[in-house]
Each structure stands twice: as C-alpha cells, then as structure tokens.
Amino acid sequence: MSSSLSSIPSPDGPFEDVPALDVADLRKVFRRGARTGGRFSARRQVAALDGVSFTVQRGETVAVLGQNGSGKSTLVRVLSTLLLPDGGSASVFGHDVLGEAAAVRRLVNRVSVEASFFKRMSASENLSYAARFHGLTAGQTRDSIPDILQRVGFPRDRRSEPMENLSRGMQQKVALARALLTAPVLLLLDEPTTGLDPRSKREVQAFIREMRATHDATILLCTHDLAEAEVLADRVGVLDRGRLLVLDRVTELNRRYGADTLEDAFFAATGREFAEETDPDDDREVFA
Amino acid sequence: MNLQATTGAVRQRLGGWSPRHELIGLVGVVERNLYLVKRYVWWEIAFFIWTVANTLTIVFIARGIEATGGTIDVNRAAASLLIGAVIWAYLGIIFEILTETVAWERWEGTIEYTFMAPLSRPVHLFGMGAFALLYGMVRAVLLFSLCLFFFDLSIPGADFAAALVVLAVASVSFVGLGIMTAVLPLISPEKGSQLGFIAQGLLLVVSGVYYPVDVLPGWMQAIAVVSPATYALDGIRDAILEGEPLGAMGDEIWPLAVIGLVAIPLGLAVFRRGERYAKQHGKLKRSG
C-alpha cells in the first residue's frame, strides 16, 4: 500500500479532518487459468480493480453502480479486509485496510447479496453470536436483539425458527439487523436487494433510508439497480471493468453526459446499454 | 447527520476495545457451537452411536484373540484398547471441529462475516479449540463409561484424575495440530478437509493407539517421538492400568508441554499464512 502509516491519525488524533473512506489508486488483479489452455497453459491476469480512487465523507451515502463483474464486490471485500489489494491504498476513518485491519473491522459491517447465516440456527441465535464477535455481552443483547428485529419488521413469532424456513426477503432483513446491531460507523451494502421480490425490496430500501436518517453511519452502496442508487445515494459512481469512470450527484452526472436519466448517463459513461450483457469472453463475474 | 456524534462513536469504538471484548468474542464462538449442537442434536446422537459401535468393535478384538486360541489378559488388553479407541475418538473430534472452522462456514456462507468480525484470529481459533475440548471431553467420558459398563471391565486402582490431567496437557498440542489442519480448506476448498484426515491417519499409525510403539519399525518410532498422542496414550494407560500418580509421569508431561508450546504458535503461524494466501487469491469465498 502506498499510504504511509505515520500519516494515519491515531484515535486521539485529528479525527474530524479524516474522511470516512479514502480510496486511492486501488488495484486488484486475479490470475486465472487460460480459457482454452490445458493444465500447463499460461494464467491470465484479470484486473478486478484498476486504479480506483474516491473519497466518501462522514455521513454520506455513496452508490457505486456497475454490472456483474465490474468489480463492485471486490471493492467491498477489500474495504472489509477480506481481500488484500495489490496496490494503492484504502483507509476507513484514517485506518489503512491493510496495515490496520483490526481497527477497520471495528468500524465496518456489511450486508451482501447473500444473507449468509447458519441456516439451521434461528435469527436470534445468529444475531446473538455475531454480537459477541463484536464484543457485546448477553446482557447487552437481551433487549437489543428483539428490538432490532422488531425495527426491521421481523415477526416476533418467527424469531426462534431456523433461518432455512424464512423467505429471502425475511433473511435479508435479518442481515440488515445483524449489521445495525453492531452499530457500524461505515456500512457496506453489496447489492442488498438483488433477488428480492418487489415488496421485500421496497421494505429493505425503506429500512436503509430509516437507518440513514436515524443511525449515524456512512453508507457505501454497491448495486446494479439504477433506481435504488438514485433514491438512496447522495452521489453515484459508475464502476466499469474495474475502473471508476465517474462519481458525482445524479443531476451532475445527467448534466455532464447531457442525459435525461441515470440510465442514459450510465450508457454515455460506459459506452454500453446498462442491460447489455458483459463480453461473453469475460469471466469477471467470478469476482463479483 | 450528526457528525459530532459519528466522531464520538468512532473514538468510542477505537478506544473501547480491550481483552474483555476478545473474551466475549471467544464466548461467542463457544455459544455458536452450542447452538449448532442443539440444532443438530439427532445427528449428534447418531454420530455418537457410530463412535460407540466403532469402539466396541475394537475392544471386542481382545476377546476375539482369546476365543481364537491366543493367551492374553483379556481384561487388561480390552482396557488398553478401550483407552486407545477413546483417545482416538477424542482426537478425531478436536480435528473435526477445528477443520470445520473454515469448511463448515464456507458451506454456510458465513465465513466472510466471521473473518471480518473484530475478533482476533488466535482468539477465534482458541474459541473453536475450547469448544472442541469441552465437547470432546464430555463425549470421551460418556464413551469410556458406556464401554466400561458394557464389557464389565475391572480397573482397580486406576488414577482417573491423573489421566484427565495428562489428557488436558496433551489437548494443548492436539489443538495446535488441529489449527494447522484447519487452514487446509482455505488453501483447497474441495479437498482441504480430507487432507485433515490424512494428518489424523498418520498420528494413528505412529502413536501406538492400539499397539505399543515398540512394534513399529525404527523410522516410524522416530516419528512417534514427536507425536503428542504417543505421550498422551502412554500417560493415560499408566494412570488407568497401573494406577501411576501424576508425580511419576514426568516422562509424559514434559514432552507434552514442550510439544504444546511449539504446536500452538506453529499452528497459528501456519493458519495466518494460509489466511493471507486465501485473501490474496480470493479463496476465502468459494466462488471468488
């Protein structure tokens, strides 16, 4: 990472001047076996992130738009300390994701497209152990888990039911509850509504809006849902083949590209229709 | 958005982290595994019945030798085989649970959430180890008692307290070895778990689980010297069959303590390296 550790403020340092998220020239390359080659064929390099730079201010909600395989999830994984970048730097409230991973993990939580849970365990059990991982005692979660499940509209009589019996929408609400339970300062939302039915989608989006209004968090939303990005975010970025092409307010994006809609602006930025499939020879989706 | 409150939250989160939080996290790991035992209780019973059947089969060998014309002290041989089978089952449980640290979580899809939680890896792994010891010990005592009752074995003068102390000291090494095998599914998602069984099998051959180490070829005896199971079995057999007190077990306790002191840091170092490899190559998540 290019960032110098000495430049990172300590918890007692000048925190007010530090952006919530500072990403500079972030790069990640994956090596994969050649599509046509045999066992000993040369491995190809695929740039999942190619010099991505942006800053998110405290309290801001920024959406990153991109198609499958554009690098959105790779970006979220690097910021979550789950992937090591190959170059550049990323810091959360001044803490480098590589050099100070432990500090970053205390500040970040994530909701991904898959509501990942121990499926035989109940919502309460899954939230309970997750809370312990974040240092919350049984005494602290005795009331907060039922409260938070109620806030996301989770039915009281299903709290002890195994997660495998719940619908996708219901599971995603529990995923949001899990993230909120740990009061993250930076919340990473990676396609949180993908695959949900319209009603569940609307409920989850309403809850994200409520979180924004009531919970003091900065949000990075990665999505391929244009309407969702437009409704929820202060600024919208376009990530295409690992490169962040633009990041601005929707009105500015539309003005810059002379577009009437965000979809038109996206098309102008990437040179492709939003719904258009990625290059059939492109296997970036494995990194999504 | 209340930026001042955000700053306060950040400061509190960074300043408030302590060994207490780590301890709560460790409790969370044990708590999660207890939930899983509860949710899979019928499977647990089924596996225990399988272990009992397996152990009975091994102990019957002592009676079989006599029945086919051999002359042995059936009671002593049966007790010796029983000790071997119970310790083997105990070791198997520790390896299995620690290997599941990665394998099961990857299958459930929770691995990324666990690995991005603000819980240090050693504490996470010690939590798994603590549960494995607790669970393995309960199972071992039940298994030993059941088989003792089934065969009506007489073990006068057995020093069970000394045997338990030897087992406890040996468990430190077993956890260290288990942590080393736990990393294998990170490196090879498909075959990693099975590689753990290979390590287990090697210990079975060289450690004198069902026969004295003296019967092995010289080169195998040399490997047996560094296997903690060798000393554990020697010490436990001496305590139960000969009634040797703990004070007379220096030859077993010291090597076990030394192997334990090496195995734990070595296990953590191996796991750290494997985790780094997985994060570098996107192998934490199965599809990435």
- The ipTM is 0.85
Residue A14 is classified by DSSP as -
Written as one string, the DSSP assignment of A256-269 is: HTT-SSHHHHHHHH
> Considering CB atoms only, which of B15, B40, B116 is closest to A105?
B116
A189 SS3 class? strand
Confidence of residue B188 (pLDDT cuts 50, 70, 90): confident
Provide, as residue numbers in chain B, all residues whose Cβ is less than 8 Å from the Cβ of A116. 108-110, 112-113
Q: Are B88 and B204 in contact (CB under 8 A)?
A: yes
Confidence of residue B2 (pLDDT cuts 50, 70, 90): very low
Tokens at B207, concatenated: 């450690």
Provide, as residue numbers in chain A, all residues whose Cβ is less than 8 Å from the Cβ of B281. 30-31
Tokens at A64, concatenated: 């990153």
Q: According to the model, what pLDDT value does residue A1 have?
A: 38
Q: According to the model, what pLDDT value does residue A38 have?
A: 58
pLDDT digits (tens, 9 = 90+) for B232-278: 999 999 999 999 999 999 999 999 999 999 999 999 999 999 999 99
* pLDDT reading at A40 higher than 70: no
Confidence of residue A10 (pLDDT cuts 50, 70, 90): very low
* pLDDT reading at A267 higher than 50: yes
Type of residue numbered B49: I
> Considering CB atoms only, which of B9, B17, B110 is closest to A185?
B9
Provide, as residue numbers in chain A, all residues whose Cβ is less than 8 Å from the Cβ of B36. 118, 120-121
Q: Are A217 and A186 in contact (CB under 8 A)?
A: yes
Confidence of residue A35 (pLDDT cuts 50, 70, 90): low
CB contact under 8 A, B282 and A287: yes
pLDDT digits (tens, 9 = 90+) for B5-22: 445 555 555 555 688 899
pLDDT digits (tens, 9 = 90+) for B218-243: 999 999 999 999 999 999 999 999 99
Q: Between A89 and B11, whose confidence is greater?
A: A89
Written as one string, the DSSP assignment of A85-147 is: -SEEEEEETTEETTTTHHHHHHHEEEE-SS----TTSBHHHHHHHHHHHTT--HHHHHHHHHH
pLDDT digits (tens, 9 = 90+) for A12-26: 444 567 899 999 999
Give the residue from A133, A137, A209, A218 with the most B CB atoms within 10 Å of its CB, the best one to mutate. Answer: A133
Count A/B contacts: CB-CB distance under 8 Å: 149
Beta carbons within 10 angstroms of residue A227's beta carbon: 13
Q: According to the model, what pLDDT value does residue B19 have?
A: 87
Measured between CA atoms, the residue of chain B closest to residue A97 is B116
Written as one string, the DSSP assignment of B77-124 is: HHHHHHHHHHHHHHHHHHHHHHHHHHHHHHHHT-HHHHHTSSS-HHHH
Q: Does B17 touch chain A (CB under 8 A)?
A: yes
Q: According to the model, what pLDDT value does residue A285 have?
A: 42
Measured between CA atoms, the residue of chain A closest to residue B2 is A216
CB contact under 8 A, B13 and A121: no
Segment A257-263 shows an average pLDDT of 92
- Element of type H or E holding B56: helix B41-67
Q: According to the model, what pLDDT value does residue A33 have?
A: 66
Tokens at B4, concatenated: 């001042």
CB contact under 8 A, A216 and B287: no
Which three-class secondary structure string do you get for B159-173? CHHHHHHHHHHHHHH
**Least trusted range by pLDDT, from A32-41, A113-122, A175-184, A200-209:** A32-41
Segment B131-142 shows an average pLDDT of 95
Provide, as residue numbers in chain B, all residues whose Cβ is less than 8 Å from the Cβ of A133. 25, 28-29, 114, 117-119
Segment A167-191 shows an average pLDDT of 89
pLDDT digits (tens, 9 = 90+) for B33-90: 999 999 999 999 999 999 999 999 999 999 898 888 878 888 999 999 999 999 999 9
CB contact under 8 A, A216 and B2: yes
Q: Between A164 and A69, whose confidence is greater?
A: A164
Nearest to A254 by CA among A279, A235, A278: A235
Q: According to the model, what pLDDT value does residue B71 have?
A: 84
Q: According to the model, what pLDDT value does residue A277 have?
A: 47
Tokens at A265, concatenated: 């602006």
Q: According to the model, what pLDDT value does residue A253 have?
A: 94
Q: Are A73 and A288 in contact (CB under 8 A)?
A: yes
pLDDT digits (tens, 9 = 90+) for A192-250: 888 788 888 888 888 888 777 777 789 999 998 899 999 999 999 999 999 999 999 99
CB contact under 8 A, B116 and A106: no
* pLDDT reading at A282 higher than 60: no
A44 SS3 class? strand
Segment A107-130 shows an average pLDDT of 92
Q: What part of B 142-201 touches A (C-beta under 8 Å)?
A: none
Nearest to A111 by CA among A205, A188, A219, A207: A188
Confidence of residue A9 (pLDDT cuts 50, 70, 90): very low
User: What angle in degrees, to the nearest 10, is found between the helix axes of B228-237 and B160-182?
Assistant: 160
Measured between CA atoms, the residue of chain A closest to residue B8 is A15
| Residue A54 β-bridge partners | A23
Q: What percent of chain A has pLDDT over 90?
A: 56
Segment B182-193 shows an average pLDDT of 80
Q: What percent of chain B has pLDDT over 70?
A: 93
Tell me the range of A129-133, B67-71, B195-199, B280-284 where mean pLDDT is highest. Answer: A129-133
Closest CA of chain B from A108, distance in Å: 8
Q: Please state the pTM of the whole predicted model.
A: 0.86
Written as one string, the DSSP assignment of A208-274 is: HHHHHHHS--EEEEEES-HHHHHHH-SEEEEEETTEEEEEE-HHHHHHHTT-SSHHHHHHHHHSS-T
Type of residue numbered A149: L
CB contact under 8 A, B14 and A106: yes
